[in-house]
Each structure stands twice: as C-alpha cells, then as structure tokens.
Structure 1
C-alpha cells in the first residue's frame, strides 16, 4: 500500500466518522426538540418520551423539514403560539448541544 493509498484510506475513515457523528447529532437534536415541544404541550414524562420518538421518526419519513413541520403543526394544533423563527432558533441551539453531547459520548 502506497503512502497515497494510506492517506486516502484515512480521509475515507474520517469522512465516515464525521457523517456518523452528524447523523447522531441530528437524531439527538430531534429528540431534544421533541422533548422541548412536549414540555410546551404539557405532556407527562412518558408521553413526552413517546412524542420525542415520533419527532425523530418524522425525520426519516420526510427528510429535511419533516421535524420542523411536525413540531410546528403539533404546537399550532394545541393553540401554542410559536413562530418559525423561534422553532428554527431552538433547533440550532439544540443541534449545538447535541454535537457537544455526541462528541463527549453521552
């Protein structure tokens, strides 16, 4: 194996690790967002946990804005006034937190 091949293999492994961490961080963010939205809706701990799982699943059903649409729709359906900006800001805040947690292994 040449030095170039070893470097290429190293870059491929780093890329795979980065993508795995990105996936885990986004899934963690979605769970945290679900728990936040459940709290805003006054759900019990058990219901909040189930709701958070539903929010995570929404990302798999509709990649991209599926999580945003679900949380926004659910909050609006309960009559909870929340703007797109507030939810997007919360998503950004929770993604930063999730990245720290994933890197820390918690």
Structure 2
C-alpha cells in the first residue's frame, strides 16, 4: 500500500466519523427541542419522551430543519400557545449548541 492510499483511507474514515457525529448532534438537538416544546405544552414525562422521539423522526421527512420547525411550531400552535416561528428557530439554535456540548463531552 502506498502513502497516498493510506492518506485517502484516513480521509474517508475522518469524513465518515464527522458525518456520524453531525447526525448524532442533530438527533440530540431535535430531542432536546422536543423536550423544550413538550415542557411548554405541559406534557407529562411519558408524553414528553414520546413527543421528543416524534420530533427526532420528523427530521427524516425531508432534508434540512424546516420539517422539524414546522412540526414543533404546528404542535405548539395546536396546543393553543402563542409562539412565533422565530421562537422555535431560536430554541433550535440554542438546542444545537447544547447538543454539541453534550455529545462532544461524551466522546
């Protein structure tokens, strides 16, 4: 094997690792956002856990964050809460920071 092959494999491994870490951060962020929204809706512990999982699953409906934002915003509005899209986006950004800190602290 050549040095070039070794370097190429190392780059591929690093790329795969970075993609996995990003996926885990986004999943944790979405779970934290679901917990945030559940607390605002007054859900109990079991409902909160179920709702947080549903928010994580919403990520897979389409690429990007819009599906998660639409779900959480829609659910909060259906619960009769006065919340703006900007509030959900702000919470999403804050939860992204929190998720990154939590996950990188575990690695």
TM-score after normalising by structure 1: 0.94
Q: Distance in 2 between matches of 1:12 and 1:67?
A: 30
1:55 pairs with 2:55: yes
Q: Distance in 1 between matches of 2:70 and 2:99?
A: 20
Runs (5+) with no aligned partner, structure 1? none
Aligned to 2:3: 3
Q: Distance in 2 between matches of 1:85 and 1:28?
A: 20
Runs (5+) with no aligned partner, structure 2? none
Q: Distance in 2 between matches of 1:63 and 1:53?
A: 17
Over residues 24-50 of structure 1, what are the superposed CA-to-partner deviations in whole Å (9 max), with x where a residue is unaligned? 000000000000000000000111111
Q: Distance in 2 between matches of 1:102 and 1:91?
A: 16
Q: Distance in 2 between matches of 1:63 and 1:50?
A: 22
Aligned to 2:90: 89
Q: Distance in 1 between matches of 2:73 and 2:85?
A: 8
TM-score after normalising by structure 2: 0.93
The secondary structure found in structure 1 opposite 2:59 is helix
Q: Distance in 1 between matches of 2:93 and 2:3?
A: 40
Aligned to 1:73: 74
The count of residues paired between Structure 1 and Structure 2 equals: 106
